[in-house]
């Protein structure tokens, strides 16, 4: 759809013309909307903070993602206000405040039940640790504050009350052109905080924008080693769950960031572009849940090392689900995933090649649910569906089979009480006592055998019947 841009006039604000303000005029702005429409999307508490600061004689603007999203017609998730008022002056304006980092100029303002962050215009020194500035100095000029931002589309200051934009780096033009471009020298910006290299691709994935070539050329993939696993995990998750994840993932691969962060992808990219495209397509086909998107991206990692060509020329990947699980486990551990998320992702990967046969017996379905867990079984079906879609081949019959299995599993779950070993009428201690077994793996093997026997007929799940089964099965004990 073509974008109709708004009319604007340029007003110099001093600073040798380095700062400009764009005052929006009336007329047909297309999807950009009018100022009143922008104000309507801003919470009353945020407008009140802006008003109190300005009426007290200070400058006050929305910065960061809020101006970008408002100009794109979106509802921002975060509201950051910047001002020339120092922290102590901000606290003097508002009766209820709380500290958030006054050393860095940030004060929290409480209005009723709403918290709003207000930060003083500031300049920053170098980033010796690759994350935080060595020093921060307050400044009276909003342009100095915008100069430290990462990308031009995030270096816009918006005053919705005075109907003014401050845009010294052409962020409004880049929004119009759907472009992600660094503020100043990209090597400097990325050197300050290497995570910005991932943010470069995240904004492409979330906004559907393209990245500026010069900015991408400023990426030095090796710098990403300075970033903690937690920060990498969170940024990668945002890319994976974005509306257009392929834009971000393909950029990560192209730039070399992917294989530096996840060396397990080394055998996949660029050696096996078809497999990489399949993984990306699976991500795009699955629901945008973090665990599902991660499982989709990692589910076939083991195919490269398990690839075998049979005598008839057919290609097989025997055991790739187990190998993929092992590779994924190393990745999730390195990125410090929470245990619950890690276990879910690994379970889905391990069992994604289950037999999706409509003719599976009820006992086989019970055992499948027992392996995966009733809380994950439908996510496993979703991964299998996305995997099939990502092959690009006609798959309506496979999807029909999965839908049929889902209906059968729903019926089983509605009436069954034996879905995992925990549901058995005996536990490990009772098995050890009855068979005189010491603690060890043999107890687990016996419980698995009991579970298989019970799933053939859930009515068998009575203690007396199970003990009778054990007495007959293990007569020598």
Whether 66 is in a domain gets the answer yes
In this prediction, residues 30-46 reach a mean pLDDT of 80
| In contact, 451 and 426? CB cutoff 8 Å | no
The distance from CA 56 to its chain's CA centroid, rounded to whole angstroms, is 41
212 and 349 within one domain: no
Mark residue 256 as left, alpha or beta (left: phi above 0; alpha: psi -120 to 50; beta: remaining).
Answer: left
Per-residue pLDDT of 101-149, as tens digits, reads 888 899 999 988 888 999 999 987 666 665 666 768 999 999 999 999 9
By mean pLDDT, which of 95-99, 447-451, 453-457 is the weakest?
453-457
137 and 29 within one domain: yes
- State the pLDDT at residue 213: 98
- State the pLDDT at residue 6: 36
- The answer to whether the pTM exceeds 0.85 is no
> Is a pLDDT exceeding 80 seen at residue 73?
yes
> Is a pLDDT exceeding 60 seen at residue 161?
yes
Q: Would you give the end-to-end CA distance of the chain in angstroms? A: 76
By mean pLDDT, which of 20-24, 200-204, 334-338, 452-456 is the weakest?
20-24
Q: What is the mean pLDDT of the chain?
A: 89
- State the pLDDT at residue 239: 98
Whether 147 is in a domain gets the answer yes
In this prediction, residues 219-247 reach a mean pLDDT of 97
pLDDT band at residue 29 under the 50/70/90 scheme: very low
163 and 68 within one domain: yes
CATH number at residue 198: 1.10.110.30
- State the pLDDT at residue 415: 75
With b for 16 or more beta-carbon neighbours within 10 A and e for fewer, the 428-466 pattern comes to eeebbebbebeeeeebeebbeebbebbbeebebbeeeeb
Domain boundary at 193, 226, 261, which? 261
Whether 396 is in a domain gets the answer yes
197 and 127 within one domain: no
- State the pLDDT at residue 443: 92
For CA atoms 271, 274, 278, 280, give the dihedral sign: positive
Between CA 377 and CA 405 the distance in angstroms is 11
Per-residue pLDDT of 348-388, as tens digits, reads 999 999 988 888 888 888 889 988 999 999 999 999 999 99
Structural domain boundaries, residue 144: 8-177
Q: Residue 84 — φ and ψ, nearest 5°?
A: -85, -5
- State the pLDDT at residue 224: 97
> Is a pLDDT exceeding 80 seen at residue 33?
no
Q: What angle do CA 386, 390, 392 make, to 5 degrees?
A: 135
208 and 170 within one domain: no
> Is a pLDDT exceeding 50 seen at residue 207?
yes
Between CA 274 and CA 281 the distance in angstroms is 10
By mean pLDDT, which of 17-21, 76-80, 83-87, 385-389 is the weakest?
17-21
Whether 82 is in a domain gets the answer yes
- State the pLDDT at residue 332: 98
What are 136's two structure tokens?
Answer: 């921060």
144 and 38 within one domain: yes
- Tokens 């070539």 belong to residue: 213
In this prediction, residues 74-83 reach a mean pLDDT of 93
Whether 211 is in a domain gets the answer yes
163 and 188 within one domain: no
- State the pLDDT at residue 455: 82
Could you please report the per-residue DSSP string of 72-127? Answer: TT---S--EEEESS-HHHHHHH-SSEEEEEGGGTEEEEEETTEEEEEEE-EEE---
Q: What does DSSP assign to residue 375?
A: T
Could you please report the per-residue DSSP string of 187-200? Answer: HHHHHH-THHHHHH
Higher pLDDT, 136 or 44: 44
Whether 273 is in a domain gets the answer no
Tell the burial category of 136 from Cβ atoms under 10 Å away from its Cβ (0-12, 13-18, 19+): middle
Whether 24 is in a domain gets the answer yes
Higher pLDDT, 476 or 469: 469
What is the Cα gyration radius of the chain?
29
> Is a pLDDT exceeding 70 seen at residue 151?
yes
- State the pLDDT at residue 136: 81
- State the pLDDT at residue 127: 63
Instruction: Assign 202 to helix, strand or coil.
Output: helix
In this prediction, residues 415-434 reach a mean pLDDT of 85
- State the pLDDT at residue 129: 61
| In contact, 280 and 269? CB cutoff 8 Å | no
- State the pLDDT at residue 421: 84
153 and 83 within one domain: yes
> Is a pLDDT exceeding 60 seen at residue 12?
no
Could you please report the per-residue DSSP string of 243-302? Answer: SSHHHHHHHHHHHTHHHHH-GGGTTTTTT-HHHHHHHHHHHHHS-S-HHHHHHHHHTTTT
Q: How far is the CA of 105 from the CAs of 90, 125, 245, 312, in angstroms?
A: 10, 15, 35, 70
308 and 161 within one domain: no
- State the pLDDT at residue 126: 63
- State the pLDDT at residue 375: 94
| Residues in CB range of 39: below 8 A, 6 or more apart | 47, 160, 161
Higher pLDDT, 173 or 455: 173
44 and 164 within one domain: yes
397 and 251 within one domain: no
Q: What percent of the chain has pLDDT over 90?
A: 70
- For residue 349, the surrounding DSSP H or E stretch is helix 339-350
Domain boundary at 158, 177, 196, which? 177
- State the pLDDT at residue 476: 53
- State the pLDDT at residue 125: 63
pLDDT band at residue 401 under the 50/70/90 scheme: confident
Whether 279 is in a domain gets the answer no
257 and 236 within one domain: yes
pLDDT band at residue 10 under the 50/70/90 scheme: very low
Domains held by the chain: number: 4
């Amino acid at each position: 759809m073509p974008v109709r841009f708004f009319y604007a006039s340029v007003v110099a604000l001093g600073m040798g013309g380095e700062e400009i303000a764009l005052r929006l005029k009336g007329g047909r702005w297309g999807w950009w909307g009018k100022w009143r429409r922008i104000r309507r999307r801003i919470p009353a508490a945020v407008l009140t903070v802006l008003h109190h600061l300005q009426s007290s004689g200070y400058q006050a603007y929305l910065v960061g993602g809020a101006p970008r999203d408002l100009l794109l017609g979106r509802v921002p998730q975060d509201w950051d206000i910047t001002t020339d008022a120092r922290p102590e002056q901000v606290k003097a304006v508002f009766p209820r405040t709380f500290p958030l980092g006054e050393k860095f100029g940030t004060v929290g303002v409480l209005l009723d039940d709403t918290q709003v962050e207000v930060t003083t215009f500031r300049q920053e020194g170098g980033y010796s640790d690759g994350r935080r500035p060595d020093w921060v100095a307050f400044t009276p000029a909003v342009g100095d504050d915008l100069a430290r931002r990462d990308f031009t589309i995030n270096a816009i200051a918006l005053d919705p009350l005075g109907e003014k934009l401050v845009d010294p780096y052409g962020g409004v033009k880049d929004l119009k052109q759907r472009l992600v471009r660094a503020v100043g020298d990209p090597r400097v910006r990325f050197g300050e905080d290497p995570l910005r290299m991932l943010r470069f691709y995240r904004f492409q994935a979330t906004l559907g924008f393209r990245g500026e070539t010069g900015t991408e050329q400023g990426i030095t993939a090796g710098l990403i080693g300075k970033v903690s696993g937690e920060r990498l995990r969170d940024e990668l998750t945002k890319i994976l769950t974005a509306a257009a994840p392929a834009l971000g993932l393909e950029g990560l691969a192209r730039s070399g960031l992917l294989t530096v962060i996840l060396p397990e992808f080394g055998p996949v990219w660029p050696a096996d572009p078809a497999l990489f495209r399949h993984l990306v397509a699976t991500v795009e086909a699955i629901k945008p849940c973090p665990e599902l998107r991660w499982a989709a991206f990692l589910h076939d990692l083991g195919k490269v090392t398990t690839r075998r060509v049979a005598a008839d020329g057919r290609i097989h990947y025997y055991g790739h689900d187990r190998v993929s699980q092992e590779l994924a486990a190393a990745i999730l551990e390195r990125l410090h995933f929470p245990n619950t998320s890690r276990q879910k992702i690994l379970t889905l990967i391990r069992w994604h090649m289950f037999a999706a046969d409509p003719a599976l017996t009820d006992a086989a379905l019970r055992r499948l649910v027992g392996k995966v867990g009733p809380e994950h079984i439908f996510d496993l079906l979703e991964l299998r569906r996305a995997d099939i879609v990502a092959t690009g081949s006609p798959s309506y019959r496979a999807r029909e089979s999965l839908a049929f299995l889902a209906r059968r599993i729903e019926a089983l779950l509605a009436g069954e009480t034996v879905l995992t070993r925990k549901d058995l009428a005996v536990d490990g201690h009772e098995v050890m006592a009855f068979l005189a077994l010491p603690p060890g793996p043999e107890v687990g093997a016996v419980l698995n055998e009991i579970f298989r026997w019970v799933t053939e007929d859930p009515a068998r799940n009575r203690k007396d019947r199970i003990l009778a089964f054990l007495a007959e099965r293990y007569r020598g004990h």
